[in-house]
Structure 1
Amino acid sequence: MNRARQPLKIVPLTADHDTPASAPSGSATQRIVDSITTAIAERRLMPGTKLSEQKIGDIFKVSRTVVRQAFNQLSRDRLVVLEPARGAFVATPTAEEANDVFEVRAILETAVTKQLCATITDAQVKQLREHLELERAAVNNAEVPGRTRLLGDFHLVLAQMLGNQVLVQMLSELLTRSSLIALMRQSSQSAEESLDEHVAIVDAFEKRDVKAAVRLVSKHLANVQHNLHLDPQRVDLADILHH
């Protein structure tokens, strides 16, 4: 029996400047971690970007010690690299790491697809259709951060329907690293292609066609990996973290 759906890890970015100065440092640390993670997930914060302790401290109105704590957490998640005497940088995954991440995603998402296709309810199919409409609206409106988040969330929704939160957490982390590996915002054309592929996947779920669903998910992940590009654009941290 499916358990109640829990909130997705990747959430809309917020930066609350009204947090009292007396708030626990852990809360401030998590706000920084969540903001940077979301900016990476939405492909607004690019690999190799220098993360200034002082500037981020000013943005969130916290001490550099709190910022350092956030960097350490992000480093453990492999989203940030800490270099002695140089500071913190958004990680720049190698091609080998990119292949490894997508290989693990394929293994996990194939397993999710097989299990979910055998147990999916009409109500869950309806939920997926509703999510597709949100994706379509974001793609049509060219909302890059919104469409990137929603296209990624589609995969998390599938995992959440199984009710396994460990699986959801693992996949969420992989999706964030996939966004980092992508190195650039998704083009309108590739976003539309992803949406079309999601529609085909949901069609297979609705028919309870396990073989077709697995084939379509595998093809979709291969296409996403194939469409990775390089974008060495410069960024402004204050604009990104307050987007």
Structure 2
Amino acid sequence: MDQPVVDSPVSERGRSEAPIRARILQAIFERRLHPGEKLTEERVAELFGVSRTVVRQALARLAQDGIVEHQPNRGAFVAAPSRADARHVLDARAVVEPEIAASAACGCAAAAVARLRRHVAMENEARAAGERATLVRLTGEFHIALAEAAGNPVFVRLLTELQALSSLAILLYARGEHAACPPHEHTDILEAIEAGDGELAARRMRAHIAHVADELDLSEPRERPLGLAQALGLEPGGAAGKVAAGKLSGKASGRAGQRSRPSPAAGKGA
């Protein structure tokens, strides 16, 4: 399978804030970094091997896009869209994305169509392999790739922001499991683009966004955030933590047993 679009290996750490933004966005697209997660400057700087100044720049850029929220005297947090925010994001997508699809259908180069085809093929591979995190990221990135195919950098920036906010809204308000885009709908949109039918591409995209909206129940938040390092893919979520937890549990059980053991005087009459 091809490499992820926004993946930024830790081995390529540098002084730029771009890799930090890219990794945070990837974690949001994969729905591993959740709404309300605290982004502590010191911890992020430690994880990426950069200064707090670089981290501050990355968080400021994300805050400009509404993806991070700065709270006075508390720090930076992954945004937690309200129900109204979620509706606004979906309304914006319903207006903008059909136009992007129509624009791509009317002027998309053959090379761009081929890239979209490869992207949809990667989605299908991830779905068949049960690679959930990869699938949800790829299905979100399809919409950004479509904006790139339309040749409008403003659309690309806008869709990057809207997709990140959509991912956060889905984590909070999804009716069931955190759904990726419905199967086959991206293929249907792409076929309309390949046929040069802008009206059909727009109509299919509009229906697609409506299906995404139907999967949201804007009433009650869901799920607990992961730890920051695990969400960013910079710390194994595995054995060491489980062993430590087991030791702590064992100690706690031992102490509980000692407390519950009767004293020598127990059971004697008064």
What letter is aligned with 2:141? D
Gaps of 5+ in 1: 1-8
Q: How does 1:43-62 map to 2 (within 5 A)?
A: 43-62=31-50
Q: Deviations over 1:133-188 (max 9, x none)?
A: 11100111222231122112222222222222222122222112211221169878
1: CA distance, partners of 2:177 / 2:8:
22
Range moving further from structure 2, 112-121 or 92-101: 112-121
Q: Give identity over the alignment, percent.
A: 37
2: CA distance, partners of 1:202 / 1:127:
11
TM-score, with normalisation over the residues of structure 2?
0.73
CA apart distance, 1:46: 0.5
2: CA distance, partners of 1:184 / 1:136:
26
- What is residue 41 of structure 1 aligned with on the other side? 29
- What is residue 136 of structure 1 aligned with on the other side? 124
Residue 240 to residue 10, structure 1, CA distance change in 2 (3 Å): same
2: CA distance, partners of 1:124 / 1:58:
39
Range moving further from structure 2, 29-38 or 167-176: 29-38
2: CA distance, partners of 1:222 / 1:216:
10
Residue 148 to residue 13, structure 1, CA distance change in 2 (3 Å): farther
2:147 to 159, 179, 183: 159
1: CA distance, partners of 2:74 / 2:108:
50
CA apart distance, 1:122: 5.3
Q: How does 1:66-215 map to 2 (within 5 A)?
A: 66-120=54-108, 124-183=112-171, 190-191=179-180, 194-215=182-203
Q: Does 2:230 align with 1:242?
A: no
Larger Rg: 2
What letter is aligned with 2:163? L
Q: Deviations over 1:59-117 (max 9, x none)?
A: 12233343333322222221111112222211111111111112222222111222222
- What is residue 263 of structure 2 aligned with on the other side? none
- What is residue 9 of structure 2 aligned with on the other side? 14
Range moving further from structure 2, 61-70 or 196-205: 61-70
Gaps of 5+ in 2: 235-270
Whether the 8 Å contact between 1:142 and 1:188 is mirrored in structure 2 is no
TM-score, with normalisation over the residues of structure 1?
0.81
Q: How does 1:18-33 map to 2 (within 5 A)?
A: 19=13, 24=15, 27=16, 29-33=17-21
1: CA distance, partners of 2:231 / 2:136:
15
1: CA distance, partners of 2:105 / 2:172:
32
Q: Secondary structure of the equivalent of 2:69? A: strand
1: CA distance, partners of 2:65 / 2:74:
20
Whether the 8 Å contact between 1:44 and 1:185 is mirrored in structure 2 is no
Q: Secondary structure of the equivalent of 2:43? A: helix
Higher relative contact order (CA 8 A, sep 6+): 1
CA apart distance, 1:207: 3.2
Q: Secondary structure of the equivalent of 2:10? A: coil
